[in-house]
Amino acid sequence: MDEEATTRALIVFGLSLLVGPAIGGLVGWLKNFFWGVGVGALLIGCAGLYGAATLGWHRYQSIAGTTSVQGSLVEFVEEESRDSKGRTTVSRAPVVEYVTPDGQKRRVKGLGGGLSDKEWGDPVEVRYSVTDPSQALVADFQNMWGGVWGLGIFGAFPTMFGLFFIGMAVKEAPEKSGRAGKPPPVRESTPGQKRWRTRGTVLANLVFLAGFALVFLYPDPSPMKQFGAGFMTIGAGAMLHFLVQSLPPAMDFQSRSILAIVGLGFLAFGYGAWMMA
């Protein structure tokens, strides 16, 4: 289901990986490094977000015309894929059997690596098209929304980095031209503000440490659950640092934005790992 939308989204994103650096390099040569990196990253990011939005919309429309049924895992089949260097990777793709209202048994193959925590005969939810019951997909996060999530990440983070570098370029321009205004006076923190900043920093560091501990100690045999819990906790620690550094007198926004980008990155990857477990 949605094969055409997926292919189109991947083509657009793949082209952006060629066009973005090329145009970014030209802009960098005409203006400066920050502008070049910013424009190139924005082109890649916008292509990724476009792909995620179009694929998500098509997936939403296709799911609206489906109905849910409980199937069962019947086997895993090995699939081989080869990268650009000729290296072969083998993954196990689950095959799920389901029964349509006419009593006919049908099978659908999920994405490689999916349902790795399940065994033969375990129940698995399937969604199939009401108009064409042979069109179906395994109704877990990886098969339904994994592509949207992946393109969303590959779109959101280049976009944030692009905006960051363009902000650096805009800030640098007046300084180079000598037209920069007088910098605002530096405000000293009051004793109360220092106490709150110190407490918040200590709490954020503890959350960081808890995240690293969860990667190894989370009480679940699934590595994806462990990484998901740990990464989301680390991301929460980074976002807490961002909030602490935003307390008055706040740190420079561009410096704080790095904490926000790192935090959102860990939260996104952690959420995806958790949902695909």
pLDDT digits (tens, 9 = 90+) for 149-207: 999 999 999 999 999 999 888 887 665 655 655 666 666 778 888 889 899 999 999 99
Closest alpha carbon to 150 in 37, 6, 1, 3:
6
Task: Spell out the domain ranges in the chain.
Answer: 66-143, 188-276
**pLDDT on residue 122:** 93
pTM of the complete model beyond 0.75: yes
Q: Nearest to residue 118, comparing CAs of 222, 218, 225, 274?
A: 222
Per CATH, the number for 66-143 is: 2.40.50
How far is the C-alpha of 237 from the C-alpha of 210, rounded, in Å? 9
The answer to whether residue 14 scores a pLDDT higher than 90 is yes
Q: How far apart are CA 29 and CA 271, in angstroms?
A: 39
pLDDT at residue number 184:
61
Tokens of 111: 């994405």
For the stretch 77-121, pLDDT in tens is 988 777 666 677 778 899 999 999 888 999 999 988 788 888 889
- Which has the higher per-residue pLDDT, 249 or 1? 249
- Residue 252's pLDDT is 83
Q: What is the pLDDT of residue 51?
A: 94
User: Residue 140 pLDDT more than 60?
Assistant: yes
pLDDT reported for residue 126: 95
Mean predicted lDDT score pLDDT of the chain: 88
Give 226-269 pLDDT, tens digit per residue: 999 999 999 999 999 999 999 888 888 888 899 999 999 999 99
What is the predicted pLDDT for the residue at 236? 96
